[in-house]
Structures are given as C-alpha cells and as structure tokens.
Structure 1
Amino acid sequence: MELSNVRPRRRRRIAAISLAAVLLLVSGSLLGFGWYYSGQLLDPENARPGYRDTVTASAPGTVSLAESRVTVLPGTWGLVWPGGGAEVGEVTGRSGGAVARELRGTPPADGTPVRLETSVWTSDPRAAHGLDYAEVRIPTELGDAPAWFVPATTPTAAAPTWVVAVHGRGGTRAEALRVMPALHALGLPVLAVTYRNDEGAPRSPDGLYHLGDTEWRDVEAAVRYARDRGARHVVLYGWSMGGAIVGQFLGRSAEAGDVSAVVLDAPVVSWTRTLELQSRNRGVPEQLVPVAELVSDWRADLDFDRFDLADHPPAHRPPTLLFHGGADGTVPVDASRDLATAASRLDWPLRYVEVPAAEHTAAWNVDPDAYESALTEFLRSVDGIG
C-alpha cells in the first residue's frame, strides 16, 4: 500500500464517522425533544396547575394581584391558593404593576401565591349553589370512578334526559359547577364525572393520558350508569380535552345513539393543530410537532389523525352547541371555526358561538348571562329536552 493513499482514505473514514456522529446527535436531540414534549402532554402530573400569580394587597371586597397575562383577563374567576379560595370579579384598577379586582369571599394574605381558575368554585354543588347532590361511583373497566350526581329536583326524581359533564385535561368535575344552575333550571339531572388518572379515579395501566383515545370508555360507563337509572337520553358536555373525549365517544361507543345533544366548550377538535399552537407559544418550531406526535404514539399508541373531527367526523352527530373564545391561547379557535364551517358538509347540526374576549374555556366567565341564554335556548330546541 502506498503511503500517499493512506491519508485520503483516513480522511474519508474520519468524515464518515463525523457525519454519523452528527446524525446520531441530531436524532438523539429530536428524540429527546419528542420525549420531553410528549411527557408534557401525556403525564398527568405535568397537567396539574400551580400557583403562578401573587397577591400584593387585599381587603374585604377587593384584592390586588401582581399584573400578568392571566390576572388582567376580563370576567368572573375563581381565585385559588393553597388551602383556600374565593371568587373574583371584574378588574377595577391597574397601576404600578398591580391589578385590583372585585373579591367575594375571605381575602388571602398579602404575598400569597395564587392562580385564577375558570371553574370559579372549588367546592361542590351544595356549597357553590345550594344544589342537593350525591357522591356516586361509576363502575369503569379500571375500577370505580367518583362523580357528582345532581338530581333534577329530589334524589328520587326520575328524568328522561341526563347531562354527563366531562372536564378538561388537568381539571376537575368542578368545571361543571358554572353551568349546573342553568341545567337544573331546565329540569336536567347532571352527572359530573371523573376519568382515569383523575384524583380519586383509577390510574390507567401506563399512568398516562391518552387524550381521549381511552378516556371515552369511562364516559361510556357513565352513560350506562345514567341509563341504568332511568335516563333514556343523554346530553354530553365537554370542556377542552373533555371535548376530544366526547368526540371519540361519538365515533366509537356502542352507546353513542343514546346521545341526543352535545355541548362543547373550547374543545380539542384537532390535537395536531392544538400542539402547533402550543409550540408557537413556547417558541418551538412547528416542524417538530410530528416528532412529538411520533413519540407520543410510541408511548401511548395514539393515532393523531383520528382526533381531527372535521376530517374524521364521528359516526353519530347529534345537535351540537359549540362555544369558543376568540382569545384562546391554549386550544386554537380556528379549529372550531373550521369545524363549524364544515358542519353542513358533514350533515352535522351545529351551532357555533364565539366570545371574542374569552380565553381558554372562559366564555362563561366573560358573560355568564349570554352564555346561559345560548345554552338554554339550544337545549330547549332539541326534541325531548326543552
């Protein structure tokens, strides 16, 4: 072998090894991103809300909060802190980096870490609204899941149509407290459910959210529970990921024919578009979303195309009322707009109500009267309900 041929060959080998190393690093980085992002999406612990805002001053009837994107939002909200909570109303003033809001309840101490919640109340139907209720257990395939049952009038009264309320990712059944008085006024019993990985509910076998792909079976169990206790029809009511769960139920459950109407509030009608919005919020290139989907599919066996309700509409499409906030920074309002536009093509009787100033699932909070009026009018228009 001539010495002159050794060096070029060695250089080519070094270049090949370097390229392989770079490809491995890039692949590893992509997989690392996908694993991290899928963990943010699928791990229930990452969906638990923290306390990101702070009380700067408080007094009977008013509270001041450090100004943030959330603390300036319009409407009625719940103010929650470790071991306590109250209701806050509209912003009454802003100055010096602080936001003053109306307060109904006992004020928290200055410096308390807090968060604003769309759910408003963190208690139960009786404490929030004086409504009688029972703590019941829904037998699911993984074990019993707790739920609130709010009867139409008395615990023994039978009613032909029940509402099954499905909260969003990281939320609780308290999400349904906002609409319970309006539903109660219509004579509708309400079953506010939990599903796998909720507090007090069974854990999924892998301990992960499946974004509606398996959770719909817990809603199916709730529908069977209602039917076994006299319900002939069901209204499904879903917030955020609860909307994705409802969509999968309508497309895949043998009990979907029992659903006479659906109400969706800021629903996930496309997980891909939701992830693209959230990637933009985090300053992450949208081109990396397929990597996160690929890893999530590997970890939880998810078909993300299945969740796109416009392209893959459910088999059962009952009359539907769809609320969405025009200022939603969590779930894209454009996806709901597109579904509303496609509804006539899909033979889906769907009414769309957009609330311009509302953030995620905050359409009720911005204007409770208008929200409840639209809800009541819709339900009264459905045969067998109103």
Structure 2
Amino acid sequence: MARRKIIRITATSLLVLLVLVTAALGGIGWYYSNELLKPAEAFPQRYPETALGLDDENLVLAESKLSTLRGTFGVVWPGGAAKVGDVASNKDGRVERPLLEGTAPPEGTKVRIETNVYEGNPKTSLGLVYSDVAIPGELGDMPAWLVPASNRDTWVITVHGRGASREEALRVVPQLHAAGLPVLLITYRNDPGVPKSPDGLYHLGDTEWHDVEAAIHYAQGQGAKKVVLYGWSMGGAIVGQMLARSSSASTVSAVVLDSPVTNWTQTLNLQAQNRGVPTWLTPVAEVVSGWRADLDFDRFDLVANPPAVKPPTLVIHGSADGTVPAQSSRDLATAANGLGWPLRYVEIPGADHTSGWNVATDTYRAALGDFLTRSIGAGP
C-alpha cells in the first residue's frame, strides 16, 4: 500500500510539474509573440535620451550608446523634430552634434534618436512635389505618397519595416528622384490609418505581401511597366514573400534590401540574446506565434526557400545590427551564386539596424547609384 501511494504521489507530482512547466513556457511564448506580432508593441513610444540644450550651433545630448552613434540622425520628441550631424565632441557626459535642421528642444527634454532624418511628407521635408494617393487593397484603401519623376516606365515602391512608417524611405527619395524614378511610398495593413488585418496581428510578411502586390497593380494602372522594390527590415521579408508568391513578381526588375529579415529564426535568436533569454526558447515563441498567426517560419528562410523570381538585388546591412543579424544577409550573399540570384552585398562597418545611410551616406549612395545604373540603366 505504502509503495503504491508513493508511486501515485510521485506520478501526480510529475504531472503537476509538467503542467506548470508547459504553462510557464506557453506564457513566455505568448509574451514574446505579443512583442513580435502586436502592432502596438512595435511602434516606438519611449523617449530614452535627454537633451541638454544648445551650445553655439550644436545640440547637446546626455552621453549614451545612442547619442554617441556616428553619422547623421533624427532627434524627435513630443511635438518636435530635428536633424543632427556627426558627433562634434564628447566629454564630461555631454555629446555635441551640429544641428542641421529644425530647432533644438528645451533643456531637459526627453528625446528619441532615430534613423529617420526627415519628418513629414515629401513636400515639407524634401521640397518635392507629390500626390496623396489611395491604393486599393484586399482589406481596403491604403494611403501612399507618389513622387513623380521623368521616367514613367519604371517605378520604385518602398516598403518600410515593422513599427516604422513610410517616412523611413524619405532618406533615399532625393537620389531616386534625381535618377528619374517615380517613387511610391506605401503603407500596409496594421499601419496607423490603414485597415487592420482580420486578427489585428502582424504576419511578418506572410500576408503583407498582398499589399505590395496591390501597389504594383496601382503603378501598372498609372503606366508603369516595371518596378523596383525597396524594403527595410521586415519590409525585406515582405518583399521576399512577394517575389515568392505573387503572380506579379515578373514585373519586378530590381530589388534593394536594407537590413532585411531573410531568416526570422536567426532574427529571433539575436533578439533573445539581446534580452538575456536562452535561444532554446526561440522555438517556443515560433510555435506560439505560428499558432496565433498561422505562420510557417521556414518559409521566410530565403537561403533554404528562395523565391522562383530572383531579380538583380542589392543588399545593404550594418555590421553592428543588433535587431536583425548581418549574418543572415552574409549567408544569403554567400549562397546567391548557387541559387542563381544576381545579388550584390554591401556591409557598412559599425552601422546598427537600418542606419547604413546615416553612418556612411556617401558609401550608401554610391552603392545604390551604381546598382541602379547596372540593373535598370537609371542614373542622374
């Protein structure tokens, strides 16, 4: 009797432990799937840096990892924005950067440093003529900006990253415009002011590619014969799925990818490491996210599952990217020849996520200009 009782208690304890462990893993997976899939978690809301006023013509910021980044960046705060240049001095906890555009925030203002250096629309930020247009999508109309140019046959369609906005592309619009290329800066499902997906979640490219396809159809309706797709971060995953799954992929004559997600598993592993979370929990987050949003994460691995349509592609990635691993882009570049994919890879030393343009503007512009000339014959 005593032995049976001990066995019964042990079995019950193990069962309870298994339930508790399963519940804990499920809770962890649910938490991280929220961070990955819920739009409200993706849009930046914090202002972690502190402005210390204006010294001569330099904006002074409290020293931090972000305030000491090399290059040109945007500084935003509630109700204001500015553009600052490279670090002019850094001593005694005060980082001075030349104020290039905008006005300085009052001393003590909490601010955020962004790769977006332009706020507003193409007219207010760049002085370029543009039109507000609506792209008919399967969930409803999606607002976009259309910047016209001399070449009416080949359009550039920009696809911003997760939690970003169409303003992300404004940095490269002047160069594209000078090359004679009309630029369509799109939004997609779950962006502010755009219809939400039926479940209200991001699908990491698995459904968003339909919105890029709709943008291509819109461009074709306006006379475009070919398009160049330009994606940042998750926008790269969206472009990858569009090439793999859209009947309109053959209209894409070239692709530019900046810090692209080409393998979500590697990206989640990096983000787990950044949070001090064991990478063996990544599959748990994938299982929960896959269940919630009906996702197959293997589909996003462009090395293992490359798209059938592989137009000439330029991939630009920063070596210090702490959000999407540069190794994923290196892996794709290494595999490209064997995949029959004409791909050029440019790595920007020291650049963090989507900040290659900010850190090394001349290098970035030269690579982009050369690629556009070689791939589609466009140039200033």
TM-score grouping bracket, smaller chain normalisation: over 0.9
Distance 1:55 1:45 in 2: 26
- 1:272 aligns to 2:265 (yes or no): yes
1:231 partner letter: A
- Deviation of 1:103 after TM superposition, in Å, equals 1.3
Is residue 129 of structure 2 the alignment partner of residue 136 of structure 1? Answer: no
Query: Amino acid of the residue matched to residue 196 of structure 2?
Result: R
Following the alignment from structure 1 to structure 2, what is the Cα–Cα distance between the partners of residues 253 and 216? 8
Counterpart pick for 1:352 among 345, 348, 352 = 345
Larger Rg belongs to: 1
Per-residue deviation at 1:128?
Answer: 1.7
Counterpart of 2:3 in 1: which secondary structure? helix
- Superimposed CA distance per residue, residues 204-254 of structure 1 (whole angstroms, 9 cap, x where no aligned partner): 111100000000000000000000100000000000000000000000001
Pairwise mapping of residues 99-110 of structure 1 onto structure 2 (< 5 A)?
99-104=95-100, 105-110=102-107
| 2:349 paired with 1:361 | no
Could you report, residue by residue, the CA deviation over 1:286-342 in whole angstroms, capped at 9, with x for unpaired residues? 000000000000000000000000110011000001100011111000010010010
Aligned length: 377
1:323-362 matches, within 5 Å, as 323-362=316-355
Residue equivalent to 1:70: 66
> Alignment partner of 1:234: what SS?
strand
| Per-residue CA distance 1:256-288 (angstroms, 9 max, x = gap) | 000000000000000000000000000000000
- Partner SS, residue 354 of structure 2: coil
Selected match of 1:315 from 287, 308, 313: 308
Please point out which of 250, 261, 270 is paired with 2:254.
Answer: 261
2: distance between equivalents of 1:254 and 1:196?
Answer: 20
Contact 1:52 1:114 in 2 (8 A): yes
Q: Please report the TM-score for the alignment, with normalisation by the length of structure 2.
A: 0.97
Contact 1:161 1:385 in 2 (8 A): no
Q: What's 1:27 paired with?
A: 22
Match of 2:241 in 1: 248
Shift of 1:383: 3.9
- Displacement, 1:385? 4.0
Deviations 1:60-119 (A, max 9, x none): 521222222211111000100011100011111222333221112210011111111111
2 CA distance for matches of 1:193 and 1:134?
Answer: 12
Instruction: Return the match for 1:12 from 7, 10, 13.
Output: 7
SS at match of 1:288: helix
Is the contact made by 2:254 and 2:376 (CA closer than 8 Å) also made in structure 1?
Answer: no
SS in 2 for 1:343: helix
Question: Counterpart in 2 of 1:81?
Answer: 77
Contact in 2 for aligned 1:327/1:358 (Cα 8 Å): yes
TM-score, normalised to structure 1, is 0.96
State the identity as a percent.
60
Indicate the residue corresponding to 2:142 in structure 1.
145
**How much has 1:384 moved relative to structure 2?**
5.3
8 Å CA contact retained: 1:60, 1:106? no
Helix, strand or coil for the counterpart of 1:382?
A: helix
The amino acid that maps onto 1:317 is: K
- The alignment yields a C-alpha RMSD, in angstroms, of 1.1
